[in-house]
Structure 1
Amino acid sequence: MIGTHQGLAFYTIGQRRGLGIGGPGPYYVVGIDTEKNLLIVGHWKDVYGRELIAEEANFIPFDHLEGDLRVTAQVRYRGEEGEAIVRPVEESRVQVTFRRPIRAITPGQSVVFYQGDLLVGGGIISSFSGSGQAVV
């Protein structure tokens, strides 16, 4: 633990400003744990992730995903896009693995899937791979 926060509602994944903590190099918000009231901070590289789990996945061309699907995936509104593989986990739950790390994958935000210019589906991010360095 390196400090206290002003309330989790005031922070978002990837945020750098307004953390009010010192130490080696700038810190960024890399995770928010609402159950434990923890703000998890790390360095710039910790803001990136290559894998996420999405709930409530919906696919426009078919009823459900039966196997791996190659897509261009985008996280957040106007967020970064990346080549990815979408893999079914359960009925409406999928695992998305990006070819390269993507910045600020945030639980609660949307992830959408494209093939070319065609929107093929999407879901709500429930978790992602990432590693925080410290807890505020």
Structure 2
Amino acid sequence: MTTTSNDSLFRSSFYHITANKLVLLGVLLLGIIGAAMAEQKRVGGMTGVTSLENGLVSAEDKNLIQGLLDKVRPDAELKAGRKFDELTPVAYATQLVNGVNYFIKANTGGTGDKRYVVIRLHKSFRDDVTFHSIQVDKTEADPITYF
């Protein structure tokens, strides 16, 4: 009987210690995951607007934004009902979704005729770019907002 009693005590202690270790491990993992998520961009919200005219954006980022506009320009012109004299990005914001939504304000009229549009496009994680929508008749002062 003593053997059974000791055996039972050992099993009980073993499971109790193992359960405590699992709880501790779970708490540790939640802490690590929480810290990692705090440094990540949150899905769904728009970033702040980034100006391309203040010299703080790299040439690589400017080329990326211009390249995105070049890819959707025919669709944007079709939707706007007119050809653009130019399509020069001046500012943009992004939204992390299943890929990235870009909201890009661009000058369409050249230096003498400041006409602006805001183009929304989507870039998938596989680098597929699709036109979504456009806001026309914007001014230089109009903010970029979600649409």
Relative contact order, CA 8 A, sep 6+: which one is greater?
A: 1
| TM bin (shorter chain) | under 0.3
More strand by share: 1
More helix by share: 2
TM-score normalised over the length of structure 2: 0.24
TM-score normalised over the length of structure 1: 0.25
